Amino acid sequence: MKAKHQRLILAVVALLALIGAGLLAASALKDEAAYFYAPNDVKTKGVEPGKAIRLGGMVVKGSLKRASDGVTIHFDVTDGKATVPASFKGITPDLFREGSGVVAEGAFDAGGTFQATNLLAKHDERYMPRELEGMSYDEKTHKMKAER
């Protein structure tokens, strides 16, 4: 067999191996490619208890309840179509509040409550840290200044 044919066969085998690896990776990630599940996705598709996911939505106003231990909170997450009860034990982020966006990492328990292990509070494009409230950016001096 000539060297030219050997190189051609090697290139074809390498290409087939690369395509096979890509297909294998794609099949393994078919449902895991979603950044997070919305409450409506959970209600329609269902998520088995114990499976680690991210749940995203808005914290329902009036649903935030603190337990007597001082570190456990119970709240509801909604996407406007469905609502899911959730619970978190730990220190919440500063931006976490009723009516704000949240992405919670965790898993559902057997009772259908999402047990969050981590909370990621979301903010909009108008977010201003507490330390900078009442301040504005001066384009001329390129510095922050107090508003009057």
Binding residues for heme: 123, 127
Distances (CA, A) of 22 to 16, 25, 105: 10, 5, 28
Name the token pair of 9. Answer: 């066969």
Give binding residues as ranges. Answer: 123, 127
End-to-end CA distance of the chain, in Å? 85
CA atoms within 13 A on the CB side of 140: 1
30: left (phi over 0), alpha (psi -120 to 50) or beta: alpha
User: Is-contact 55 42, C-beta < 8 A?
Assistant: yes
